[in-house]
Structures are given as structure tokens and as C-alpha cells.
Structure 1
Amino acid sequence: MGESDKSGSPEVSVVIPLLNEESSLRELAQLIGKALQGTAYEIVFVDDGSTDGSWGVIRELHALNPNVRGIRLRRNYGKSDALQAGFEEVRGKYVVTMDADLQDDPNEIPEMIEMLKGGSDLVSGWKKVRHDPITKTVPSRFFNAVTRWTTGIRLHDFNCGLKAYHRKVTDEIYLYGELHRYVPLLAKWKGFGNISEKPVKHHARKYGKTKFGLSRFLNGFLDLVTLLFVNRYMQRPMHFFGLFGVIFLIAGVAISGYLAVMKIFYGENLGDRPLLFLGILLIVVGVQFFSIGFLGEMINKGQVDRQKPSIASIL
């Protein structure tokens, strides 16, 4: 069992989202307890709508060890929502996330905590040697390469579930959809730029089977596009739509001007020229983009409940 400090608050909170992992929970709780022996800790299992006996095992573990806590969601919401539910309930100064399938090694946690104490805001695990089928490893490498290029964050493994954070980081971010893959990006946007990476051991799955298919990568890319767009243009939609509006309008006006010169000075028949319709189409599309930008600005200006800025310190 873990130890508690005088205030009753743990130093480390380990958040574990799970779906139908009853076979691994007892062993995982035991391994975490050994890894954090001598440290005040809590384990927060988040049951994301399991249909097996996972919740019963969590209740059993809680009865044996009060440092083990449980959150049961009414249905399966997904990993990001499960993590967010855990973040809202943690009490520790440092927060660690890991998967429940025993592929993440709890013995990595102490060193990750030391890296946080050394100044890192977030420590992301890197499964340098993976024990997964090629159907997971190849798409994952491609996904990580694209994410590195688009975000500018030099991490090898955005998908690794084993991460450690200062509590202030998890208090500032909000996860939904597939955003658990982009926690380093969300943290960076909130001003937590000291992001470190640690190679971690990765074990072969011992029980059950993976809950993720290839569709998660498509969903992840769509969420990345949404995330990048919202962060850059939510407060200035005209900068995005207006840019395309200007490009289309200039092209449409240029084409229409060229055709007008050909008609006036050379008497050419324009009624059957596809270029005429292209010029008109570009002008219409350009006006539409401008209109969308104006509407976005009006909606944005009318919002009362804006996202609060992240405050680094107050004197």
C-alpha cells in the first residue's frame, strides 16, 4: 500500500482509462504499488463503459487499498473523455497516465517524476522498441511523422499512453474526441513549453485484445486539422476565409477583365467560352468566402464567454 502525507493528499496520481480489462487490473495495481513504494500515491481507474467485470475488480481493489479509486462512466465515451474525467478528480501534485493492458511499465514512473522535478512540464514516453503487430506500428510511425511536421514538436511517439505531467498542466487543458494524442500540443499552446521525452519499456499484450482499429488514425488526423484550425483562426476567422476570398476574387476579376478586353477590342464571341464561366464562378466563390469570414467575425465578437488566457504567474 502507498503512503500518505500529513495533509492526506498524494504526491503522484496515476490515471488509467480502461475498457474491458478485468484480467489485468489486479496485477497492474500491484505493479504500480511496488514501483511507487515509499511515495504517497493514488491510482484512479476510469471505467469507460466496460461490459465485463472491470468495475467489480476496481471496487474490490478499493476495498483492499484506499489509495485505489474508481470512476465509472455511464457509457463508452472514448479515451480522451475518460482521461478528462480522471484529470478532474486527481489530487496529486504530479499526474501520470498509462494504459490498463500491462504494456506500459510502471517502473518507468519514478524516473519520469524526477524529470518533472528537474523542470519539465510534461514527460512523454517513447516506445522505442514496440511489441505490436505491423498493422499498428507502420501507421503509427506515419502518424507521428506527420504530427511532428505539422506541430513542430519533436517527439517520436505522440500515441504513447505513458506520460507524466505537472498537475498545473492537466488543470489547464481539456480533452475530448481523439485529443489525448495531442496533449503535448495542447500543453504547448497553454504556455507549457518544457516538454521532454523518455524512452520507455513496452511489453507485449498479456490479456485480451486491442480496442483500437485503423479508424483511430483517420479520426486522429481529422482532430489534428480541427485543432490547428481552431487554435489559429478561432479568434480571427477572416484571416482564413478572407485570404481564400481575396485569391478567388483576384483570379475571377483577372479572368473577367481579360475576356472584357478580348470582347471590346477584338470582338470575340464569349458566350461559348468555358473561361467566362470559370471567371464568374471564382468571383462568386470569393464573395462567399468573404461572407463566411464576416459572419465568423460577427459571431466571434458576439461571444460573451470567451476562453480565458493561461496565466503563468500573478504578483
Structure 2
Amino acid sequence: MPDKVEISVVIPTCNEEKNLPELANRITKVLDAYGQAYEIIFVEDGSSDNSFGILKEIKKRHGRLKIVRFSRNFGQHAALAAGFESAKGRAVVTVDADLQNPPEEIPKLLEKFYQGYDVVAGWRENRRDSILRKIPSYLLNRYISYLTGVKLHDYGCDMRVYSKELLKEYQNYGEMRKFSSALTAILAKNPCEVKVRHQPRKAGKSHYSFSKLVRLNLDLVTSFSTKPFQTVALWGIAATGLGVISGIIYVIYRFLLGNWISPQILLLILLLLSGGVLFAILGLLGEFAVRTYHLVQNRPFYVIEKTEE
């Protein structure tokens, strides 16, 4: 492997034995034609099939290939973090192992990277997925854009290019690295998007079941950002303010002007006041809980069993 690596390609893989030979051949062909020194890092995420054995056979034919093997399955984002830590290149490319994003699109992203962007995100404009995946993905992309303040169309596309400098900062964020696309968007000084092709999966099946997607999104809501709790607190403060104003108007009409007002109005005012205070307290407690959670998390994000270079 060359001493001076310019491009690192990080590929998390779990139970993708049928896709690995074609993937390795196509990526190698693309990067050989690109003309820069490169390395390919497969992070084997505790597969139950023969993925690791196939990768070892591929490595015999491709000297630029490195294999990082986890002791068990830690998930895609942990695999990305391990690949980032192992990467030596100035440009770090990420690609899924399912071949839905063609490796031939990589030069398009690298072209943008060398124009000075520190995060180049792929955008699957014409996704070849079912409507049951497209709609939740659209809503989640809107929500992550709100959390991060960085408007991107496709936070779920893992065909990306990162600068090595940005990833050094990324590695300091512990378990928040499970939200890699959102976290790197926040850290980026100059992000951009590039439209990439998206194809149906050739072999195997998606590792993101509905329940796993729900758990990941709940984690995103409750532990990535304090914005949701700040929003709840603001709703509470607004409701409290509305209750106070309504109460003042009620006192003026009922006692100063002597007008009769339905008791239900008084009940509504009391509900606004009590509910508003409760929501404000809930939002503040939630923010304190999230900040405490990030301070006490010291468990390892992943455990590497072995590395073959």
C-alpha cells in the first residue's frame, strides 16, 4: 500500500457476501482510472455469513485493501467511525456495500471536494425504493435539517466525501457519532450536495428494518440535539403567557366591569397556566437530561477484533 494515500474509501459491510466481489472490482477500476493513490477499507461489522472470508480472498488480489473486523455487530455508524479512524487519505469517501449507489459516481463527488468543500453529500434524487421508505425519509430529512440548521435533501445517502480534518473533530464526539450524517453537517464549514444515481438492490436485503429505523430516529430526537426540548419549553412559556393575559382580561371583565363570564373560561385559563408551566419545566428537564447523557457516556463505540492490512 502506498505510503502517501490521497483517497480513502470506507465501506461498512454486514452480510453482503454476494455483493462484495463486484463492489471491490468496480471501486478498484474507478479509482485506478482516477489516478490518485488510494486505499479501500472494508469494516466487517460482525457478519453471520462468509463476508469476512470473501474479503480475505479479495485482499489477495487487491493490495490496496484493508479489512477492519469487529468482534460483533455494532451497527453501520460504528463501522463508519472505525473506518474514519483507520483512514489515511486527505479525502475520505463512504460507500454502502449494497451497490445501490454505483461506485462510478465517486469521481463526481471528488470533483466537488477538490473545489474546496469539506463535506460532499450524495443526493438520491430518483430513489429506487418503495413509497413506504420514501415518505418517512422525506420527513426525517426535513427534521434533521431543522435540528442541524443545514438544509440537505438526503441525509440518508451514505455516498459522501469528507475531509480528513473534519473527521478528526468528528472523532471527539463519542456516541453522538451514531448520527454521522447530521453531526458532520454541523461540523462542516462548507458542505454541498451532488445528485447521484440510485439503483435497486442486486442481492441481499436491507439491514434497516422498520423497528430499527424507529429506534434510530427516537435516539436522534432524544439524544442528538436539545432543540426539541427547547421547542417544548417555548410552547410552555407561550401557553403560560397566554394564560396570564387571559387571566388579566378575565379579572377586568368580571370584577372591574361587572360582566358575567362563563366558568368554563376560567377553567380554560387555569389549564393554560398549569399546562404551560408543566411544558416549560418538561422542556428544561429534557435539555438537562440530554446534556448529562452526553457527559457520562464513556462506553466504547465499537470493539475491533483484528485488522488486516
TM-score (norm 1): 0.73
1:53 and 1:79 map into 2 onto residues whose CA distance is 18
Aligned to 2:6: 11
1:205 and 1:256 map into 2 onto residues whose CA distance is 61
**Equivalent of residue 100 in structure 2, options 103, 112, 135:** 103
What are the equivalent positions in structure 2 for 1:140-155 lying under 5 Å apart?
Answer: 140-141=137-138, 143-144=140-141, 153=150, 155=152
Aligned to 1:88, the other structure's residue is in SS state helix
1:30–1:254 Cα change, 3 Å = same
Aligned to 1:248, the other structure's residue is in SS state helix
Q: Percent identity?
A: 36
Measured after TM superposition, the shift of residue 215 of structure 1 is 4.8
Measured after TM superposition, the shift of residue 23 of structure 1 is 1.4
Deviations 1:170-222 (A, max 9, x none): 22235758624xx2x533432x3422322323333221122234456655654
1:112 and 1:304 map into 2 onto residues whose CA distance is 33
Aligned to 1:70: 67
Measured after TM superposition, the shift of residue 152 of structure 1 is 6.1
User: Residue type of the partner of 1:195?
Assistant: P
Deviations 1:260-308 (A, max 9, x none): 45664549698xx3333333333333444555577689889999979xx
| Contact 1:130 1:203 (C-alpha < 8 Å) held by counterparts | yes
1:91 correspondence with 2:88: yes
Measured after TM superposition, the shift of residue 94 of structure 1 is 0.8
Measured after TM superposition, the shift of residue 144 of structure 1 is 4.3
Measured after TM superposition, the shift of residue 39 of structure 1 is 2.8
1:290–1:77 Cα change, 3 Å = same
Aligned to 1:249: 240
Aligned to 1:283: 273
2:214 and 2:270 map into 1 onto residues whose CA distance is 36
2:143 and 2:202 map into 1 onto residues whose CA distance is 30
Mind listing any 5+ residue stretches in structure 1 that lack a counterpart?
Answer: 307-315
Aligned to 2:110, the other structure's residue is in SS state helix
Aligned to 1:211, the other structure's residue is in SS state coil
Aligned to 1:42, the other structure's residue is in SS state strand
Measured after TM superposition, the shift of residue 21 of structure 1 is 0.4
1:222–1:34 Cα change, 3 Å = same
Aligned to 2:186: 189
Aligned to 2:72, the other structure's residue is in SS state coil
| Contact 1:124 1:164 (C-alpha < 8 Å) held by counterparts | yes
Aligned to 1:312: none
Mind listing any 5+ residue stretches in structure 2 that lack a counterpart?
Answer: 297-309
Higher helix share: 2
**Equivalent of residue 51 in structure 2, options 51, 54, 57:** 54
User: Residue type of the partner of 1:112?
Assistant: L
1:28 correspondence with 2:18: no
Aligned to 1:13, the other structure's residue is in SS state strand
Aligned to 2:305: none
Query: How many residue pairs get matched?
Result: 290
| Contact 2:7 2:37 (C-alpha < 8 Å) held by counterparts | yes
1:161–1:297 Cα change, 3 Å = closer
User: Residue type of the partner of 1:198?
Assistant: V
Aligned to 1:123, the other structure's residue is in SS state strand
TM-score (norm 2): 0.74
1:295 and 1:146 map into 2 onto residues whose CA distance is 22
User: Residue type of the partner of 2:242?
Assistant: A
1:222–1:14 Cα change, 3 Å = same
Aligned to 2:304: none
1:202 correspondence with 2:198: yes
1:118–1:134 Cα change, 3 Å = same
User: Residue type of the partner of 2:78?
Assistant: D
User: Residue type of the partner of 1:187?
Assistant: T
